Amino acid sequence: MLTVVPLDLLGDLFGNVGNISQIAFTLLFILLFFGFGQKLQMRQYMWDIDRGLRRLDVIRGQAKDLTLKTVKEIGKPTSDPMPQLNVLMEQFLITPVDMDPSGIVSKFDHLLDVHEMKFKEDVHRIAPSADPAQLNNLSNLVEASWALNTIYRIIRHFYLLGKKTNSIFIIIQLQALLPLIMQEAEAYLGAARAFAEGQPIGDGIGPLVASRLMKDKSQRKVEKDVIVAETTLEDRRIIALKAEGPGGNVGKPGDAIRSLIEENGGKVSMVVMIDAALKFEGENSGEVSEGIGAAIGGIGTERFKIEEEATKNKIPVYAVIVKESILEAITPMRKEILEAGEKVLERIKSLIVERSKPGDTIIVAGIGNTIGIGQ
């Protein structure tokens, strides 16, 4: 016997089934998104970090092997330098107490001097046959290896901490920063190769320009590892300075500039500083820009000395910078950076002529690492 079901009843039945299915699907989607979806996403992030960490381990291993090879070739140690090199890889610097900021700069300066002296002595101990220029290059090479080792240890720490605590916030931040970290690590590996071979790096553009002003002029040493020479330009007296080369060295230009200002009784018309500067993405490498202020990197102690002396004597400080990426700054100098040197010289000449008068004394400071750049 055939039972006839009214059409409106069938419509209600299918409509209810459709609503139930939609609700079930929505609940399932929410469960997947906030449950399994988050876990899957975190797993993907951890895979990315793990892959980057393994690459970092390879990079630091390559830098360490290169350092050991160079130390053996140049330093000719009488015993295996690896144990002492491992000690150098773990060195650290404890910053001074800054609750009372008075005198903090002199404390930092003292600590940096002690650290540099001890570091070079330790490097000399594992490379006794290295001459002063080679010792500076080896010190830079060991510092590059130390930086890579430190980066690896920090990334490994946060990766294992995030994995241990199952914290998605640590993992997400680490994964987001990983591309920048890897870029910096690759740059340090390139720097290690440059230091091992004694090649000029992008950061040396300041000393390179200063050396052109000092060419064929009588030179003398002032303060720590800084040399100066005098020349003339449009009836102006130019005092050019740079760190002593050709070993990898940055010297203490802050002390040198302060000493030169005091030598001249504060009668210096202007200070012009030349340095490499990090470019923004989209800018061309080798572009030259002018600005005001002390163009010098580092922790800030040298810049403080320059600013303090210039302020005390009312001396304007001008900056001419060459734009580079972090990779270009610490790897062998590229053609566009080298060619920017002529543009910098032209800018300096224009600046001096426009902002000073005949008979004035002007200090031109080439800031940067002098590796591969002679006197």
Any idea what the Cα angle at residue 343 is, between residues 338 and 344, rounded to 5°? 85
Q: Considering only CA atoms, which of 341, 141, 334 is closest in space to residue 248? A: 141
pLDDT, position 188: 93
More confident residue, 200 or 14: 200
Residues paired with residue 240 on neighbouring β-strands, in sequence order: 229, 364
pLDDT, position 266: 87
Q: Considering only CA atoms, which of 333, 367, 326 is closest in space to residue 243? A: 367
Q: Is residue 27 part of a domain?
A: no
Q: Is residue 281 part of a domain?
A: yes
Average pLDDT over residues 205-229: 90
Residues 141, 253, single domain; the answer is no
Contact by Cβ (8 Å): 292, 166:
no
- Using a pLDDT cut of 70, give the percent of the chain over it: 90
Contact by Cβ (8 Å): 257, 363:
yes
Q: Considering only CA atoms, which of 245, 273, 246 is closest in space to residue 257? A: 273
Would you mind telling me the total number of residues written for the chain in this entry?
375
What CATH number is associated with residue 276?
A: 3.40.50.1470
Name the strand (E) or helix (H) holding 179.
helix 168-197
Residues 56, 163, single domain; the answer is yes
Residues 217, 304, single domain; the answer is yes
DSSP 241-283: EEE--SSS----HHHHHHHHHHHTTT---EEEEEEEEEPPTTS
Residues paired with residue 272 on neighbouring β-strands, in sequence order: 318, 364
Average pLDDT over residues 70-75: 91
* Other beta carbons within 10 Å of 209: 28
Could you report the per-residue pLDDT of 301-335, keeping only the tens digit for each? 999 999 999 999 999 999 999 999 988 999 999 99
Is residue 4 over pLDDT 60? no
pLDDT, position 27: 67
Q: Is residue 316 part of a domain?
A: yes
* Other beta carbons within 10 Å of 280: 7
Per DSSP, 204 falls in state: G
pLDDT, position 298: 84
pLDDT, position 373: 87
Q: Is residue 9 part of a domain?
A: no
Q: Which residue type, as a one-letter code, is found at position 79?
A: S
Residues 101, 244, single domain; the answer is no
If you average pLDDT over every residue of the chain, what do you get?
88
Q: Is residue 58 part of a domain?
A: yes
pLDDT, position 10: 45
Any idea what the Cα angle at residue 303 is, between residues 297 and 306, rounded to 5°? 145
Q: Is residue 279 part of a domain?
A: yes
Question: DSSP E strands: which ranges in the chain?
Answer: 219-222, 226-233, 236-243, 270-278, 288-292, 317-324, 361-366
Looking at the structure of the chain, the number of domains it has is 2
Residues 180, 209, single domain; the answer is no
Residues 342, 239, single domain; the answer is yes
Among 99-103, 126-130, 255-259, where is mean pLDDT lowest? Answer: 99-103
Contact by Cβ (8 Å): 145, 60:
yes
The whole-model pTM stands at 0.84
Residues 191, 210, single domain; the answer is no
Average pLDDT over residues 177-191: 92
Residues 246, 144, single domain; the answer is no
Q: Is residue 117 part of a domain?
A: yes
**Cα–Cα dist 252/368, whole Å:** 10
| CA 58, 61, 65, 66 torsion-angle sign | positive
Q: Is residue 371 part of a domain?
A: no
Domain boundary at 197, 216, 236, which?
197
pLDDT, position 102: 82
Residues 342, 216, single domain; the answer is yes
Average pLDDT over residues 247-262: 92
Any idea what the Cα angle at residue 145 is, between residues 143 and 150, rounded to 5°? 90
Contact by Cβ (8 Å): 200, 371:
yes
pLDDT, position 9: 46
Which residue segment(s) compose the domain that 185 sits in? 42-197
Residues 303, 348, single domain; the answer is yes
Among 5-9, 134-138, 148-152, 349-353, where is mean pLDDT lowest? Answer: 5-9
pLDDT, position 118: 93
**236 φ/ψ angles, rounded to the nearest 5 degrees:** -105, 145
Is residue 2 over pLDDT 80? no
Local confidence band at 15 (pLDDT 50, 70, 90 cut-offs): low
Domain boundary at 149, 177, 197, which?
197
Is residue 141 over pLDDT 90? yes
Contact by Cβ (8 Å): 183, 191:
no
Average pLDDT over residues 290-301: 90
Could you report the per-residue pLDDT of 53-68, keeping only the tens digit for each? 999 999 999 999 999 9
Residues 171, 206, single domain; the answer is no
* Other beta carbons within 10 Å of 174: 22
Domain boundary at 168, 197, 226, which?
197
Is residue 13 over pLDDT 50? no
Among 4-18, 196-210, 284-298, 345-359, where is mean pLDDT lowest? Answer: 4-18
Residues 160, 258, single domain; the answer is no
